[in-house]
Amino acid sequence: MLAFIPGVGMSELLIVLLIIMVLFGAKKIPDLMKGIGSGIKEFKKAAADIDESDSKKDGKNELSS
Q: What is the pLDDT of residues 1-50, one digit of tens each?
A: 455 667 878 888 889 888 888 888 888 888 888 999 999 999 999 988 88
Inform me whether the pLDDT recorded for 56 exceeds 90. Answer: no
Q: Are 52 and 44 in contact (CB under 8 A)?
A: no
pLDDT at 65: 45
pLDDT at 60: 60
This prediction's pTM: 0.52
Closest CA to 56 of 40, 64, 42: 64
Q: CA-to-CA distance for 5 and 16, rounded, in angstroms?
A: 14
pLDDT at 54: 74
Give the start-to-end residue ranges of the domains of the chain.
Answer: 28-65
CA triple 29-30-31, angle to 5 deg = 90
